[in-house]
Amino acid sequence: MRKKMVKRLDYYDVIKGLAIFMVVVGHVVTMCIRDIDNAFIFKFIAQTHMPLFFFVSGYFTYKALAEGDGRVKEDFLQPSLLKRMRQLLIPALVMGALWYFYFPHSGLQSPMGTTVKDMLLSEWKNGYWFPPVLFLIIVVYYVFSILVGALRSNMTIYVTAALVWILLLLGANGMREDLCNLFSLKLVAEFYPIFILGVFARRHEKAFSRMMESEIVQTVALIVGALSLYVIIYRWEFSFMVEDMVAVIMPMYHACLVIITVALAKKFCAAYEDSKIKGCLTHLGQKSLEIYLLHYFFLFPMPFLQEPLRAMGLGITPIVAVAVPIAAVVVILVLGLNQVISLSPFLSSIMTGKINK
Instruction: Report pLDDT for 269.
Output: 93
Output b/e per residue, 11-48; b: 16+ Cβ within 10 A.
bbbbbbbbbbbbbbbbbbbbbbbbebeebebbbebbbb
Instruction: Report pLDDT for 327.
Output: 98
Instruction: Report pLDDT for 72.
Output: 63
Instruction: Report pLDDT for 277.
Output: 94
DSSP class of 344: S
Chain-wide mean pLDDT for the chain? 90
Query: Which residues does the chain have with pLDDT short of 50?
Result: 1-7
Instruction: Please enumerate in sequence order all residues whose Cβ is within 8 A of that of 228, keeping only pairs 6 or more positions apart, or say none.
Output: 249, 250, 252, 253, 256
Q: Does any domain span residue 169?
A: yes
Instruction: Report pLDDT for 217.
Output: 96
Q: Does any domain span residue 334?
A: yes
Answer whether 77's CB lies under 8 Å from 145's CB: yes
Q: Does any domain span residue 23?
A: yes
- Predicted TM-score (pTM) of the model is 0.94
Q: Does any domain span residue 357?
A: no
Q: Does any domain span residue 151?
A: yes
Look up the domain containing 313 and give its range.
2-352
Instruction: Report pLDDT for 1.
Output: 36
Number of domains in the chain: 1
Instruction: Report pLDDT for 67.
Output: 59
Instruction: Report pLDDT for 90.
Output: 96
Residue type, 181: N
Q: At what angle do helices 49-61 and 130-147 cross, to 10 degrees?
A: 40
Q: Does any domain span residue 90?
A: yes
